[in-house]
């Protein structure tokens, strides 16, 4: 019985809330759909947000060059760690191959005789 009340349509003339997505018009052009709004509004939002974030970064004494330099240093460290790890794995393979390959070769020679 409670389920009937929930699914029943509202009486005629009663106020029914609209869906949240109904109030906002959908962007019409592909560019506006891609940007999430008109290009002018998106530009103004990005401009204000950039101003606020820039003021915060300057207040913290973080300059744009410091950020770029930090990203480049981080990329160099990752690059060095990556190839160092690959080099170490290669050393392990080479050390194991010194034992495994001769044993395999001898076992192949012995199995081919019989």
pLDDT reported for residue 64: 85
pLDDT in tens, 48-67: 999 999 899 889 998 888 88
Mean pLDDT calculated for residue range 80-87: 77
Q: Give the end-to-end CA distance of the chain in Å, rounded to a whole number.
A: 86
Give the separation between CA 18 and CA 33, rounded to whole angstroms. 23
How many CB atoms within 10 Å of residue 36? 10
Whether the CB-CB separation of 32 and 39 falls below 8 Å is answered with: yes
Q: In the predicted model, what is the mean pLDDT of the chain?
A: 79
Q: Give the pair of three-digit tokens for residue 1.
A: 């019985």
């Amino acid at each position: 019985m409670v389920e009937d009340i929930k699914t029943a349509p509202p009486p005629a003339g009663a106020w029914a809330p609209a869906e949240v997505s109904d109030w906002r018009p959908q962007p019409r052009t592909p560019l506006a759909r891609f940007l999430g709004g008109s290009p002018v509004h998106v530009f103004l939002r990005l401009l204000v947000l950039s101003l606020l974030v820039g003021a915060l970064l300057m207040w913290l004494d973080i300059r744009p060059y410091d950020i770029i330099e930090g990203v480049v240093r981080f990329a160099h460290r990752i690059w060095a760690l990556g190839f160092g790890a690959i080099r170490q794995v290669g050393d392990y393979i080479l050390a194991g191959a010194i034992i495994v390959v001769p044993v395999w070769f001898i076992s192949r020679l012995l199995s081919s005789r019989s």
